Structure formats: C-alpha cells, structure tokens
A and B are shown apart, each in its own frame.
Chain A
Amino acid sequence: MIKYAWLIPVFPAVAFPIIIFLTRKVRLLSALVAIAAIAASFVMAVGVLREVFLLGVTMEKPVEYAAPWLQIPGLLKIEAGILIDPLAAVMLLVVTLVALLVEIYSVGYMHGDPGFSSFFSYLSLFSASMLGLVLANNYFMIFFFWELVGLCSYLLIGFYYHKHSAARAGLKAFVTNRVADFGFMLGFFFLFAMFGTFNFRELAEAIPGYQNTGFLALAAALVFIGPIGKSAQFPLHVWLPDAMEGPTPVSALIHAATMVAAGVYLLARAFVLFASLPGIMLLVAYVGGFTALFSATIAVAQRDIKRILAYSTMSQLGYMVMAMGVGSMTAGMFHLMTHAFFKALLFLGAGSVIHALEEQDIFRMGGLYKDMKVTASTFIIAALALAGLPPLAGFWSKDEILAAAFDHGFTGLYILGTLVAFLTAFYMFRLIFVAFFGNRRAGLHGHESPLTMTIPLLILAVLSVVAGFVGTPFASHGFSTFVYYGEPHHVEPNYAVMLLSTLVALAGIGLAWLLYGRPSDVPEKLATRYRSIYTLLVNKFYIDEIYMWLFRRVVLGLSEAFNWHDRHVVDGIFDGVGDLTRISGQKLRFLQTGNLQTYALVIFTAVVIIALWMAAPVLGGVIQ
C-alpha cells in the first residue's frame, strides 16, 4: 500500500478534469465522482498509516520514492518524489478525512447552486494539491503544490464571483499569499544555493553541520515568511477573515485541513532548519504567540459568526506556530490535527445555521437550539473542545502546547497562551449563548439541515471528543512517540498546567454566561465605557486600514515615481536611441543619391587616397 501512496493525490487530481470536462452537466454525478475520489484517497491514507505502524516507519527512517524530474548534471537536480514518515501519514489521514466529510456536507449545502459541479471540481483540485504538498519530498515539489493550494483558494474564496466582495476577497487572499510565497521561494533558493539540493532528507543531513549560521538564519527567516502568509500569522493575516466570502464548506476546508494547515506543516517539514537557529525559533514563537492573542482579542468584538470563527482559527494557528517556536513540533502537529476536526465541525455547524437562516450576524439569531438540535449540540461540543475542557480533543493538544512552553522556560509565552485560552472560551461561548440560546431577536426561525449535512457533523463531533486521546500524556505510546523531532519523548502530565487551563476555560465560559447568558445591558455599558478599545477591536486594530494607507502612500507613491522614471528616463533613453537612428537615417539618406556618377566620384576619391598611401614610399619627401 505504501508503495502506491503517490496515488493519494492523484485520485482527486483526476476527478478535477473529469468533472470539468465530462460530468459537468450531471450535478449529482459530479459530486459522486469527487466524493468517490476523495474516499479512495482516504482509504489509501488509512492503509498507509497502517503500514507505517506495521513496517515501523519512524521519523528517522522514512520511506522515500523519487524519480528524477529535471536534471542538469552538476547543476540542478529536481525530483518528483514522495516522502512518507509518521508526520506525512497523520496529515494524509486528517486531510483526506476532513475533505471527505466536507464534500459529503457540500452535497447538502450547495444544493441548488448553479456552480454545483465546478464547486466539486475545485474542491477536488484543492484536496489534491494539499495531499501533494503533504507527500512532497523536496522543497521544489512542496512549493509547486503550495502555489496550487494558493490558486485553488483563490478560485474557491471567489466562488461567488458575481459578488463584488467575494471577488475582492479572493484577490486579497491570492495577493497576500503571493507576497509570502515570494519570501518562501527566496528562502529555499538560498538553501539550494548553500547545499545544492532541494531534498528534505539530504538537507536534514547537511544543515546541522553547517557553519555559516548567518546565511542559514536568513534562509530560515525567508522560509518562515511562507507560513506567515499561508497560516495567516501577523502581519500577513488580513486575507483569512475576508476568505469568509467563500462558501462555508470551503471555509471549513481552508481552516481545518488544507490551506492554513499547509503553513504549519511546512514548519514541521523544515523543522530541522529552524531547530538549529535559536534566534529564528524565538521569532517564530513570538510571532505565533502574538498572533494568538491579537486575533483572540479581535474575535471578542465581532458579530459575524464566520468572522468569529475565522479569528479563532488565526488564534489557534498562532498556538501551533508558537508550539513550533518553543521547540515542540509534536505539540504543534497534535494541535493541528485536533483543531482540524473541531474547527471543521464549527464551520460546518455555522454553515448549517447560515443555510437555515441566510443570516450571519449572531445578534440577529437566538434560540436556535430549539430548532436545530443536532447542529447546536455538535457545535457546542466543538466549542467545548476549542475552549479546552477535558477530556475533549482540544484540551489535550492545547495543554501540550502550554506545557511545552512552560517546560522550555518560556514563561511569558505560557502566560500569554493561558490568557488566550481564557479569551477563546469567552468568545466561543459568547457566540453560543447569543446565537443558540435566549430569545429570537429578529424573528428568524431555523430548521434542521438535511442528513448529508448532519452526518458529517456527527462524525466530526465524535472525532472532536476522541481525537485527543491519541496524544494524552496518560497514554504510554501516544502521539509524541510517533510524530517528533529529535528524540521520541514522553510528556509527563503537568497537573498544575492542566488545572490552570481548565479553570481559565471555565472562567471564560462563566464570564460569557454572565454577560450574554441572560438578558442584560452590561455588554452595552462596557462597550460605551471603553468605547475606544471597543472600536479598535471591532475594526480589527485597523490593520486593513493601515495596509490601505501604506499602500496608497508607499506603493502608489513609489509607482508614481517609477512611472515617471520609466516615462522620462527609460523611455527617454530608448526614444533617444530611436530618434538618433531615425534622424541620422533621414540625414544620411541624402548620401544615397542613386546616381552613378556620384558613386564613381566617391570611388575615385578613395582611389586617390589609397594611391597616395601606397605611393608614399616612392614619393618620400615630396608629400609627407
């Protein structure tokens, strides 16, 4: 099975042209093709994971199959290959599973949409690129699929392209990611220049002994720009909230398994590069930590259900990046996995609500629990998992990150992480209390969604509960002995950290209940009291506005300058050359009289001169 692992991305990749060219007209068949393809990938992924266990494939002894793709002896060698280690195997499983559930869900959600078939084709391509990225065995391949993921996100975010804001959001995601991709590209080109290979394993062997850490740090910093963009870390996070313009299943896919996970996955893949550079690790940790806090505070003041979830994703991604930064790749990947399940569930649940109400403002919802029992209860399970209450999945993974931060001596980051945990619990239950309980505010009545939508919700709810047990510190051979960097280590349960984070989560839920659990005017009062902070949060710290201003001032100003330079200096030079040729041609044209006698005259003038020159020795003295 593991030999044929390369087929995993091929199934959905083949589904894409099949849907586009063959089954476009027959909607249900399109969905069936896409689901069948991803289901096949899922089965393969399960098989691969099983064989990884059976064959004893570890992080040190991965399986690699590669064929030369582009080869210039002594200069360039690019392989098309796959690398399967526990990290890739776990990611394959998560991606295929979430993608499968999202596609099943989409059958119900996108029902009746005119772009039904193309939606499934895009989803297939999106999954295929992500799976290819996971399997890639070198930087070049990973970059190739990285770009494909970016392209698909553009297509899917801008899926309702007739809507101006959706089209703009797609563009924004694409452009922001291009900036980040450029950094990433420079980074791995640097690596290639230093080591002469793109291959992960060869690099892993070469990097630890490399002396010139200055260059290495530059390369690592550049590579890190890639995840900053893809995983929506500050300051390139601006695209993710706007990506909500896409259909909700796409958001679920982007936020859980494909797009944003790619950045964290790249950090894990390139971990050997970062691990040797403490300074860069610190940078990674603080970028992650700052993003976690930054977006959690924004989420507190948002009203749009999808936006709250989007900022929550950013915040959780911050956690993962922070985990990488403090040196625990295990914790980061563990959280990525559990988060994939409950965040997918949250988005699909939100999609279910939106599908029923056609409304996204939580303050216009209310009392939905009575109408949509399945959606509401699964949503609450996911929120509890996200808030980090034991024994749900989020608790174990988040706890491992906090414990790692604490153990590695990053007390500041640990406190910050705990604060974020509190905020997370607060904003999630603010959402739940406002949207699912209380009175109907706008008189909107929900209704339960069809089975194609609720079954994925239920499956994901189960996963949100149990997925954490694979990594619990009470189990002897857990996630940490499977996916790791360096030595496999067993995390000892840190009861103080566990207790504190549970208490903090409960406090967050309690505060949410106090403020929003029953009718009260406290939130309004607080908002008026701290008007400036509130406006700041509602406006997302004005980051978009700042970028806009910077763009106007700097980019447009520079463009103006370059435009002038181009017009007057560059064009001037070339116009000058052109004018010179033209004018000299116009003048010199008159030399070409076309008259035989004139030519003969010139010839004989030359004859006189040549004769003079040749006769000079004979003439000597007379004409000098």
Chain B
Amino acid sequence: MTEQTLVVAKPAAVRRARRDIFSKHRMSFVTWLYLYASLFLVAAVVLLPLLTTGLGGFKTLGDLRVNPFGLPAQWIWSNYLDILGSTRYWQMLANSLIIAVLTVVLTLAVAAMAAFTFAHVKFFGSGFLLNYFLIGLMFPVATAILPLFIRIRDLGLLDTYWGVVLPQVAFGLGMSIMLFRKFFQNVPHELFDAALVDGCGYIRYFWHITLPLSRPILATVGIVAFVNSWNSYLLPLILLNTEGKYPWPLGIMVYQGEYSTDWQLVLAFITLTILPTIIVFFAAQKHIVAGLTAGAVKG
C-alpha cells in the first residue's frame, strides 16, 4: 500500500518520461503490424470508393467496364472540362452557397440574440421559453414536412431561397441557442456588472463585449449550420421546383437521372460536386472536426 502511494507520488515529469520509454519498447513488432495493418485496411475501405469515383471520371465507359479500379487507360479530360464549362454546375454551387450563407447568417443572429437574453436577463417565464426551444432538438424535420410545405406555399415562399432557409434556421435553433447560452454563461460575470455600472445597456454590451468574445462559439455554430445546409436534401427537394434554383445535392440527382448509363460522366460530376467539401475539410480540418463533434457533444 505505502509502496504504491510512493510510486504514484513521483513527479509527473519522471513518470511521463518513464512511460514513453516503456511504451516505445513495449510495442512489439506483432502489435505494430496488427495496428497498422488494421488502420490501413480501414483507410482503404474508406478511400477506395472515393478514389474510384475520382478516377472513373477520367475514363471512357468501356474502360470503366473492364477496369473500374485502376488508372485510366487513356485520360479523358473532357468529362471534367465539359462539366466545369457548363453553367449548370456553377449555378448549382451558387444556389447551395446562397442558401447556406443566408442560413448561417440568420441562425447566428437570431440564436445569439435569444441565447443572450436566456443567459443574462432574468424574466418571468424564461425557463419555460428555453424548454420550448429545446423541444426542437427532439424530432427531425421530416415529421412536420407536409404541414411545412403547406405553410411555405401559403406564405408564397415556395420555390424561393427563403422558403428553404427559414425552416432550416428554425430547425437549427434549439441546438444553436443551447450552445450559445452555455458559452455566454461562462463569460465572467464581473465584466457584465462593470459594464452595467458604467451605464452600458444590454444591447451595447451584447454588441461590444459579448460578440467579440464569442468567436469560437460563433465558428462552431456557423460550421454546423453551414455543413447541414450545404448537404441538405429533403427540404430543397420538397420546397423548390425550378431546376435553376436547385442546390447541388438535388442537381446531382437530376444529372444522374439524365445520364444514368454514362457512369463516367456521373462520376466526374460527383467528384466535382464533393470537391469543394473535401478541399475545405482539409484546409480547415481542425475547426470542422472540433465544430461538428463539439456541437454534438455539448448538445
């Protein structure tokens, strides 16, 4: 018993150094092989479909049939270049971008303001109202999709960007308000009291102190809202009906319907539509992984 306590009580640095030496020596070749063989196998299963898709876009249909895995027998650049030269591709991405940016801006503004009142203002019924918003966390948009369609139609917003944006913002509010509120509550209270004593009202405090301090949480909520909107399919599918307004997940399905047997074109099209996501993912991986998992964990 005393011996153990003594060992544990050793300075942390010594312990860490010992552990590193131990773990370096302890990993036998068999363990090492098992570890990396497993990791490479899983990585191959993840990457193979993506690589075949990317390479498939460079092939001819005949080449694709006999050789779906390997490098193209002849690199057909025109598959990609024709799509990049079409307005259709850029239009789709522009639509997705417009809808996503509107969704993010509106979500941040509306949710941050509501969360601010929940975090700082004591008023009658605040607990009840907060729970009211949290109901939104419990069910997916699909449950109310038909009444939603009718509401958007009656508001005259069918087949407009706003018709998609508003429900997306609404269904993201519960989670966003919760994330914001937790963050705002952790801003030191002295700051708030000092500002109030100096005659700074709530609204100026929100604008000049809370928001500048909240960049990390604004980024988290913004990333979650952006990714959800960028990838969303069900809402635009039901609320938009002009092809010129389709975001890319809808556009890609239409394209697939038109060229269903020309897999090489479909594959090139898929590659080009997921390319922005992959580039942004690797460029900002730290923020995206943290945002998407933190959003989930704290929610």
Whether A and B are associated in the same complex: the answer reads no
Measuring CB to CB, which residues of chain B are less than 8 angstroms from any residue of chain A?
Answer: none
